[in-house]
Amino acid sequence: MHSTVTAIIDDLSQVIFGKKTQIKLALTCLFSQGHLLIEDLPGMGKTTLSHALASVLGLSYQRVQFTSDLLPSDILGASIFNSNEHTFTFHKGPVFSQVVLADEINRAGPKTQSALLEAMEEKQVSMDGDIYPLPTPFFVIATQNPLYQSGTYPLPESQLDRFMMRISLGFPPKKAERKLILGANNRDSDALPKRINFSQLIDIQSETKKVTISEPIVDYIIELVSYTRESGVFANPLSPRASIAMGKAAQAWAYIEGRDFVTPDDVQTVFKSVAAHRLGIDEQTSELQIKQLLNAVPVPL
Amino acid sequence: MPNVHNEKAINLTLSIVYGLVVLFIMSELTLIFTALLALLCAWNFTITLMKKPKPSTLYANILAALSLVLLLHDVGFGDTVTLFVAMLILSSLFKLLQAKTKKHYQTIVLLSFFSLSTVYLFSQSIIATLCVSILYVLNFAALALIENKHSLKIASKQSGKMLLLALPIAVFLLLFLPKMPAFWQLPGPKLAKTGLSESVNPFDIAKLSRSDELVFRAKLSINKPPAPPYYWRAIIHDEFDGTTWLVSDLLKSQQRNKTSVKDAPQFESQYNIIAEPSSKPWLYGIGQAYSTNSDVKSTEQGLLIRKRYLSNNINYEVKTSSFNDSLLNKINRYQNLTLGNSELNNVQSQQLALSLYKNSNNDSEFLTALTEHFSNQGFAYTLTPEPMTGGNTIDEFMFNNKRGFCGHYASAAAFMFRTVGIPARVVSGYLGGELNEQDEYLSVYQYDAHAWVEVFIKGKGWQIFDATAVVSPERLTGSLSQMQSLNNEFTNNLEFSLLRFNQIPGFNWLRLNLENLDYKWTNWVLGFDQQKQSSFLKRLFGNSQLWKISLFVILTIIIIFISYFVYLNWPKKAMLNEHLLATHYKEIQFWCAKNGFNQKANLTPLQYLNLAREHFTEKGSLFMQFAQLYSDVRYKGEEFTPQRKNHSYDLVKSIKTKAKRSL
């Protein structure tokens, strides 16, 4: 099964050049059944990555471009009067798909944002007293522009918390950019081979959960989390939900790395992606702050 | 400065500490020099507060050189102790003005531990001790601030806690560590600004009444001397040169040569005295005093002399007997009126004495006649007499002025006794004292200094004749400070002191209580000398050898310290069930650090081992094996079998031993 994972990573590297770590982090998030937030400047390949992810994993895919006039019903769907049958029928919105790409999520107003985020948490949509379950697996890959850009509505902390990880792609290395200019990439991510089917994905997810997470690792996560609570450096300390996410992400990362046990290094690798947005640290400054934090907390032996 | 965290706080703290030290030793230095030191403190304080740059090295050095000249000129080489103390404080302050790096501050803080301790050279009172202790706390806090980012408040709290922890050890050492005789001692402290002197020129000793310094305390509880007045004898002046009463060379040599009194005579009373440090060896006792203390010499005349350690407090037991009559043959010296031409002076007084003598039948009657003369002729007691000069000071006092204090009366009376051939001597010492009724002790201050006359009456022996008593009888009981009639004059005369506020009831109560506290401090702590300690140790350990006790004490201290450090380094509870591999990992880390592989960053074990593998290439495989073992057991959750355990031991061992071979 691990060879499949390697193949997926290779495929995705065909689309996004020189960003292997980010690809692996994105997969980590999906394998541990979390929603992913990609924050970056426009034109960095956020949408490409998410689209490619859906194709490679063989999942149904819907993209919603968030704008300031987007309404909740545009995402969730609406009950429309059927004049033939004299009844209201529910027309499912784009959220009813396995992978939802919420592009530029912070361009929509809070009402619309929370409609999506509610669906993310409950994995169902309730409309006019009826409950419509969302498909499984259900991933939301949201992209957002840095908050300093104009026309953005920042996601509230409570909703940021629902994203398991936040990653940022960053500028490509020069070599990769050269390839991009020469048109070497296959931008048509639909052309990517479908590597796994639905049941295989479920297998991977269950195997991820079996990765051994030993006592010292649990200690380490607890130490890290309690440091954010006790040091007084952070305004929004990490919640227990963050601790759970950290454990799951570390397991998934270890799985992707081909191991069946978690090491502290795994925790360190996923820490920034899991913690930074919950701590309310900007993507721009997070590198240094997270480094300091990791330096301040000794690794349990 | 980037490398000193709390520079502002440290500078302010040290400025305050030094300011207070200067305040404490102010009385030992001249005004100009004190002002200089205070100015340096204030300077540093201000530039720190106003965030101004420190003076340049050249500028500060020139100033330091100038100050040194002032120091040498002002303090001089006469008093080396004060000189060195002043130099220490001066140099520390200049260093503080220039300090920039961590190292500088460390030096200054360490120096200031010495500077603080110098306060004890000049004062050991409980107030000084408490204040210096607080300064120690601040100094320790400053030391902590150099290394830490703490606030001053936290640092002071911590260092206060540390000093409190050290207190039991200090008490233990004080009680049990046998006191060795000092290998060296400081020259006597410069206390001569007040105190008795060997020559009494009655016309210039009024100074003494200006000082409220404690001289000694007498504990009367054992076997009280008869009722007051208590005449505490210190010095006998047997030689008169026309104006001044001196201690004759003969008397000095007698006192120097041998302890004339070998066995305790029949004594009437017995009491303890704790004397403060003094620049002169004279000690105090009532009547014919005798002491068994080995540091105290008892003389034929019933005086007590301190043999050594003038700069320490001394606690001695005194036995008083009535004056020894067997020395009749030696009294003619006290009849010797004058040396040189003084017979030509004070003629009026001589005539008065002779006429009074003519009218009396015997010596006793003359004594009464003289007493009456003093009481009837309008003499008055004052602490601020008009200055009298010239060769006939006694005449001037007896006939013109008639205002004076003890010195005048004693001098005049002794002169007149000698004129008619009655042996007489001027004795200086202290009169009375302030009684603490609760603990039954007397505190005697410098302002209680007194001079009186002892006359030898045939058949009765030496008698006290105190003309002051006639003129001002209330002076005889209690202390000068308690005299109502002289109160204004007394307090105005006194230099600044708490006594000034005596009239405010609360203040007097406070003063007396502080006094009592200081008495207890002196009695129990400062007075805990070699003798007291050895009797205490004997009671506790029986007649063990001194070295055995010392060994016991030192061993106990060592054990206390070792257990404290073991406690400090004892693994915390979580680490108590530390995994063996974690222990081994730490051993490897320790070994790596010892061999020049230092990693500041907080690495995970696997990262660390990987880097170590690259660093110690020749045993890379060992590190790799250990990393494998570590991750298998700690992270993969595999069982830590005995084989793995042995493997781990082997790996650690070979990592360590291989290095030895390579060295």
The answer to the question of residue B189 being in a domain is: no
Other C-beta atoms lying within 10 Å of the C-beta of residue A60: 12
In this structure, the answer to whether residues A168 and A76 fall within a common structural domain is: yes
| 8 A C-beta contact, residue B362 and residue B316 | no
Domain presence at residue A186: no
Of B601, B606, B637, the CB nearest to A265: B606
| pTM of the predicted structure, to 2 decimals | 0.49
Cβ(B414)–Cβ(B238) under 8 Å? no
Strand order in the sheet with B424-431: B285-286, B231-237, B424-431, B449-457, B461-465
Q: What residues 38-97 of chain B have any CB closer than 8 A to a CB of chain A?
A: none
A91 plus A229 within the same structural domain = no
Whether residue B308 lies within 8 A of chain A, CB to CB, comes out as no
Provide the 3-class DSSP secondary structure of residue B457.
Answer: strand
Quote the minimal CA–CA distance from B627 to chain A in Å: 11
Q: Which candidate, B231, B273, B233, places its Cα nearest to that of B522?
A: B273
Q: Do B635 and A261 touch (CB under 8 A)?
A: yes
Task: Work out the average pLDDT over A273-286.
Answer: 83
Question: Which token pair is B54?
Answer: 């420190």
Chain B positions in Cβ-Cβ contact with residue A301 (cut-off 8 Å)? 578-579, 581-582, 585-586, 605, 634
Q: Is residue A187 one of the residues assigned to a domain?
A: no
Which of A263, A298, A301 is nearest residue B585 as measured by Cβ atoms? A301
- Give the pLDDT of residue B194: 47
Q: Is residue B188 part of a domain?
A: no
Is the pLDDT at B260 greater than 70? The verdict is no
B441 part of contact set with chain A, CB < 8 Å: no
Q: State the pLDDT at residue B1.
A: 41
Q: What percent of chain B has pLDDT over 70?
A: 79
What band does B191 get if pLDDT is binned at 50, 70 and 90?
very low
Instruction: Tell me the nearest-neighbour CA distance from A249 into chain B, angstroms.
Output: 16
Asked, for residue A248, whether it belongs to a domain, the answer is yes
ipTM: 0.81
Dump pLDDT digits (tens) for B359-388. Answer: 887 878 888 888 888 888 778 777 777 766
pLDDT digits (tens, 9 = 90+) for B410-451: 888 888 888 887 888 888 888 877 777 777 788 888 777 888
> Does the residue B530 lie in any domain?
no
Q: Does A219 lie in the same domain as A117?
A: no
Fill in the amino acid letter for B236.
I
- What mean pLDDT do residues B627-650 have? 86
CB contact under 8 Å between A301 and B635, yes or no, is no
B590/A contact by beta carbon, under 8 A: no
Residue B296 or B1, more confident = B296
Contact check, Cβ <8 Å, B605/A268: no
Could you tell me the CATH number of the domain that includes residue A174?
3.40.50.300
Q: Which residues in chain B are closer than 8 Å to A260, comparing Cβ atoms?
A: 636
Instruction: Say yes or no: B171 and B98 in one domain.
Output: yes
Chain Cα centroid distance, residue B14: 23
Within 8 A of A263 by CB-CB distance, chain B residues are: 604, 606, 631, 635
Q: Which residues on A lie below 8 Å from B634 (Cβ)?
A: 214, 216, 301
Which residues touch A241 (CB under 8 Å, ≥6 apart)?
A161
B161 vs A: CB within 8 A: no
Q: Which of B578, B604, B634 sits opposite A214 (nearest CB)?
A: B634
Question: Given CB atoms, is B604 within the 8 Å cutoff of chain A?
Answer: yes
Q: B563 and B593 share a domain?
A: no
For the cut 70, the answer to whether the pLDDT of residue B492 exceeds it is: no
Domain that holds residue B12: 7-176
A200 plus A230 within the same structural domain: no
Q: Which residues of A touch B (CB under 8 A)?
A: 212, 214, 216-217, 260-265, 268, 294-299, 301
Angle ∠(A229,A231,A232) on CA atoms, nearest 5 = 80
Q: Evaluate whether residue A188 is within a structural domain.
A: no
User: Do B610 and B592 fall within a single domain?
Assistant: yes
B553 & B617 share domain? no
Q: Is B634 on the interface with A (CB under 8 A)?
A: yes
Q: How far apart are CA B466 and CA B450, in angstroms?
A: 10
Question: Using CA atoms, how far apart are residues B627 and B256, in angstroms rounded to an integer?
Answer: 83
Tell whether B229 and B333 lie within a shared domain.
yes
Residues of A in contact with B585 (CB under 8 A): 301
Of A262, A295, A301, nearest to B602 by CB-CB distance is: A295
Residue B6, amino acid: N
In terms of domains, do B564 and B625 share one?
no
Best of A222, A253, A263 to mutate (most B CBs within 10 Å, chain B):
A263
Task: Measure Cα distances from B483 to A218, B19, B491 in Å.
Answer: 82, 38, 11
B142 min Cα distance to partner chain A (Å)? 25
The answer on A294 and A154 residing in a single domain is no
Chain B hits for A298, CB-CB cut-off 8 Å, are 602
> Would A228 be classed as within a structural domain?
yes
Q: Is the pLDDT of residue B598 over 60?
A: yes
Q: How many Cα atoms sit within 13 Å of B137 on the Cβ side?
A: 21
- Looking at residue B335, its pLDDT comes to 59
Confidence of residue B341 (pLDDT cuts 50, 70, 90): very low
Domain-located, residue A54:
yes
| For A214, nearest residue in chain B (alpha carbons) | B635
- For residue B637, the distance in angstroms to the closest alpha carbon of chain A comes to 6
B131, B235: one domain: no
Instruction: Give the chain B residue whose CA is nearest to the CA of A264.
Output: B604
* Chain A hits for B581, Cβ within 8 Å: 301
Contact call for residues B408 and B385 (beta carbons, < 8 A):
yes
Same domain, A3 and A133: yes
A112 and A154, same domain (yes or no): yes
Do B333 and B219 fall within a single domain? yes
pLDDT of residue B182: 62
B577 touches chain A (CB under 8 A): no
**A152 lies in the same domain as A244:** no
**Banded model confidence at residue A248, pLDDT cuts 50, 70, 90:** very high
Is residue B648 domain-shared with residue B508, that is, in the same domain? no
Q: Which value, in Å, is the radius of gyration of the alpha carbons in chain A?
A: 20
Q: Which of B176, B210, B234 is the last residue of a domain?
A: B176
For chain B, the domain total comes to 4
* Whether residues A61 and A160 fall in one domain: yes
Mean pLDDT of the B70-75 span:
82
Name the B residues in 612-631 with CB < 8 Å from any A CB: 631
In the numeric block, which tokens belong to residue A49? 């990555």
Count of the separate structural domains present in chain A: 2
Nearest to B607 among A217, A265, A298 (CB): A265
Q: Which of B581, B602, B631 is the closest to A294 by Cβ?
A: B602
Residue A295 to residue B601, Cβ atoms within 8 A: yes
Whether residue A137 is preceded by a cis peptide bond, meaning omega within 30 degrees of 0, is: yes
Q: Which amino acid is at A153?
A: Y
For residue range A89-129, list pLDDT tens digits in order.
888 888 888 888 888 888 888 888 888 888 888 888 888 78
Closest CA to A103 of A180, A51, A28, A161: A51
Chain B: residue whose CA lies nearest to A296? B602
Task: Give me the residues paired with residue B650 across strands.
Answer: none
What is the C-alpha end-to-end distance of chain B, expressed in Å? 41
Instruction: Give the pLDDT confidence of B509-563 residue by residue, as tens digits.
Output: 787 788 778 878 877 787 777 777 878 877 877 776 777 777 888 898 899 889 9
Q: How many CB pairs lie under 8 A apart between chains A and B?
A: 46
Q: Do B605 and A264 touch (CB under 8 A)?
A: yes
Banded pLDDT at A255 (limits 50, 70, 90): very high
Looking at the structure, tell me whether residues B624 and B556 fall in a common domain.
no
Would you state the pLDDT for residue B493?
A: 57
Question: How open is the CA angle B447-B449-B452, to the nearest 5 degrees?
Answer: 145
Residues in chain A: 301
Residue A278 within any structural domain of the chain: yes
One domain, residues A74 and A126: yes
CA distance B231 to B429: 7
Show the domain range for A300.
211-301
pLDDT at B486 over 70: no
Same domain (yes/no): A117, A29: yes
Give yes or no: residues A121 and A240 share one domain.
Answer: no
Contacts of B601 in chain A (CB under 8 A): 295
β-pairing verdict for A61-65 and A99-103: parallel
Q: Are residues B553 and B581 in the same domain?
A: no
Residue range B552-575, pLDDT digits in tens: 888 988 998 899 888 887 765 555
